Structure 1
Amino acid sequence: MSNSNEKISLQTYLALLAAALLSFTGILTETSMNVTFPELTRVFNVTLDTIQWITTGYLLMVTIVMATTAFLLKKFKSQTIHLSAAIAFVIGDVMCALSPNFPILMSGRLIQAIATGLSTPLMFHIIFSRIPAQKVGAMTGLAGMVISLAPALGPTYGGTISSLMSWRMIFWLILPIIVVSWWLGSHFIRIDPVGTGSFDVLSLGLLAATLFSLVFAVSKAGKYDVFSSQVLIPFMIGLIALGLFIYSDTHGSSQLLDIRVLKWLSTSLSAFTYFVLQFVNIGVSFLIPVYCQYALHSSPFIAGLVLLPGSLVGAAISPFAGRLADVKGYALPIYIGLCSMTLGGLIFFGIQEFLTAWIILLVYSFLRFGFNMGFSNTISNAMLNVPHKFRTDINSLFSMLQQFAGSIGVGIMAAVMAINQNNGAGNLAARSFTGGRYDFLLATMLSAAALIAAIINFRIQKHKAQLK
Structure 2
Amino acid sequence: MNDDVQTVDINGQPYNRSLMVLVMLIGAFCTFLNQTILATAFPALMNAFNISTSTVQWLTTGFLMVNGIMIPVSAYLTSRFNTKSLFIISMIIFEIGTVMAWLAPHFSVLLAARLIQAVGVGINMPLMQNVMLSIYPPEKRGSAMGINGLVIGLAPAIGPTLSGWVIDNYNWRMLFEMIAPITGVVIIASFFFVKNVIPNEKPHLDWLSVLISTAGFGSMLYGFSSVGDKGWTSPEVIWTVLIGVILVAILVLRQNHLDEPFLEFKVFESKEFTLATILSSIVMMAMVGVELVVPMYLQIIHGMSAFHSGLTLLFGALLMGVMSPVTGTLFDRYGAKRLAATGMFILTIGTIPFAFLNRDTPTIYIVFLYAIRMFGISMVMMPVTTAGMNSLPLHLISHGTAVNNTLRQVATSVGTAIMISVLTNVTKSNQPAHSLLTQSPLQYRSKMLDATLLGYHSAFLFAVGFAVLGFILTFFVTKGTGVRKSVVSIDEPKKKDGDK
Match of 1:206 among 198, 204, 212: 212
Match of 2:44 in 1: 39
- How do residues 268-307 of structure 1 correspond to structure 2 at under 5 angstroms? 268-307=274-313
- How do residues 369-380 of structure 1 correspond to structure 2 at under 5 angstroms? 369-380=375-386
Structure with greater Cα Rg: 2
Is residue 332–residue 481 contact of structure 2 (8 Å, CA) maintained in 1? Answer: no
Match of 2:323 among 317, 320, 334: 317
Please list the CA deviations of residues 366-419 of structure 1 after superposition, one character each: whole Å capped at 9, or x if unmatched.
000011111111111011112221111111222223333333322322222222
- Aligned AA (2:108): P
Match of 1:335 in 2: 341
The answer to whether the aligner puts 1:129 opposite 2:134 as a matched pair is yes
Is residue 357–residue 457 contact of structure 2 (8 Å, CA) maintained in 1? Answer: no
Match of 2:440 in 1: none
- Aligned AA (1:86): M
More deviation, 350-359/322-331: 350-359
- Aligned AA (1:91): I
Match of 1:428 in 2: 448
More deviation, 90-99/446-455: 446-455
Is residue 231–residue 421 contact of structure 2 (8 Å, CA) maintained in 1? Answer: no
Please list the CA deviations of residues 315-358 of structure 1 after superposition, one character each: whole Å capped at 9, or x if unmatched.
11111100111111222222221111122222322566874322
* Secondary structure of residue in 2 paired with 1:185: helix
Please list the CA deviations of residues 53-92 of structure 1 after superposition, one character each: whole Å capped at 9, or x if unmatched.
1112111211221211111111110001011111101211
Q: C-alpha distance in 1, partners of 2:361/2:302?
A: 8
Match of 2:401 in 1: 395
Please list the CA deviations of residues 276-307 of structure 1 after superposition, one character each: whole Å capped at 9, or x if unmatched.
11111111100101122223444433322211
Q: C-alpha distance in 1, partners of 2:388/2:275?
A: 9
Give the aligned length: 465
- How do residues 382-421 of structure 1 correspond to structure 2 at under 5 angstroms? 382-421=388-427
* Secondary structure of residue in 2 paired with 1:202: helix
Shift of residue 112 of structure 1? 0.8
* Secondary structure of residue in 2 paired with 1:163: helix
Is residue 301–residue 449 contact of structure 2 (8 Å, CA) maintained in 1? Answer: yes
Match of 1:68 in 2: 73
Please list the CA deviations of residues 121-163 of structure 1 after superposition, one character each: whole Å capped at 9, or x if unmatched.
2222221111122221111111101111111221232222333
Is residue 88–residue 114 contact of structure 1 (8 Å, CA) maintained in 2? Answer: yes
More deviation, 350-359/247-256: 350-359
Match of 1:444 in 2: 464
Is residue 325–residue 332 contact of structure 1 (8 Å, CA) maintained in 2? Answer: no
Shift of residue 467 of structure 1? 12
- How do residues 10-409 of structure 1 correspond to structure 2 at under 5 angstroms? 11-190=16-195, 191-224=197-230, 226-349=232-355, 355-409=361-415
Is residue 296–residue 429 contact of structure 1 (8 Å, CA) maintained in 2? Answer: no
More deviation, 447-456/421-430: 421-430
Distance verdict in 2 for CA 1:277–1:428, change over 3 Å:
same
* Secondary structure of residue in 2 paired with 1:458: coil
- Aligned AA (2:307): F
TM-score normalised over the length of structure 2:
0.86
Is residue 197–residue 254 contact of structure 1 (8 Å, CA) maintained in 2? Answer: yes
Computed over aligned residues only, the root mean square deviation of the Cα atoms, in angstroms, reads 2.6
Q: C-alpha distance in 2, partners of 1:128/1:260?
A: 19
Distance verdict in 2 for CA 1:261–1:297, change over 3 Å:
same
More deviation, 49-58/227-236: 227-236
Shift of residue 6 of structure 1? 5.6
Q: C-alpha distance in 2, partners of 1:358/1:104?
A: 41
Q: C-alpha distance in 2, partners of 1:386/1:131?
A: 15
Q: C-alpha distance in 1, partners of 2:486/2:74?
A: 34
Q: C-alpha distance in 1, partners of 2:155/2:24?
A: 14
Structure 2's unaligned 5+ residue stretches are 8-14, 433-446, 489-500
Is residue 331–residue 481 contact of structure 2 (8 Å, CA) maintained in 1? Answer: no
* Secondary structure of residue in 2 paired with 1:35: coil
Is residue 96–residue 117 contact of structure 2 (8 Å, CA) maintained in 1? Answer: yes
Structure 1's unaligned 5+ residue stretches are none
Match of 2:475 in 1: 455
* Secondary structure of residue in 2 paired with 1:230: helix
Q: C-alpha distance in 2, partners of 1:403/1:466?
A: 30
Shift of residue 209 of structure 1? 2.4
Q: C-alpha distance in 2, partners of 1:223/1:177?
A: 36
Distance verdict in 2 for CA 1:215–1:117, change over 3 Å:
closer
Please list the CA deviations of residues 200-222 of structure 1 after superposition, one character each: whole Å capped at 9, or x if unmatched.
33223222323332333334434
Is residue 94–residue 171 contact of structure 1 (8 Å, CA) maintained in 2? Answer: yes
Is residue 19–residue 122 contact of structure 1 (8 Å, CA) maintained in 2? Answer: no
Is residue 63–residue 400 contact of structure 1 (8 Å, CA) maintained in 2? Answer: yes
Bigger share in helix:
1
Q: C-alpha distance in 2, partners of 1:467/1:409?
A: 32
Q: C-alpha distance in 2, partners of 1:225/1:155?
A: 25
Q: C-alpha distance in 2, partners of 1:320/1:460?
A: 17
TM-score normalised over the length of structure 1:
0.92
Q: C-alpha distance in 2, partners of 1:385/1:125?
A: 14
* Secondary structure of residue in 1 paired with 2:203: coil
Q: C-alpha distance in 1, partners of 2:74/2:260?
A: 14
Distance verdict in 2 for CA 1:333–1:194, change over 3 Å:
farther
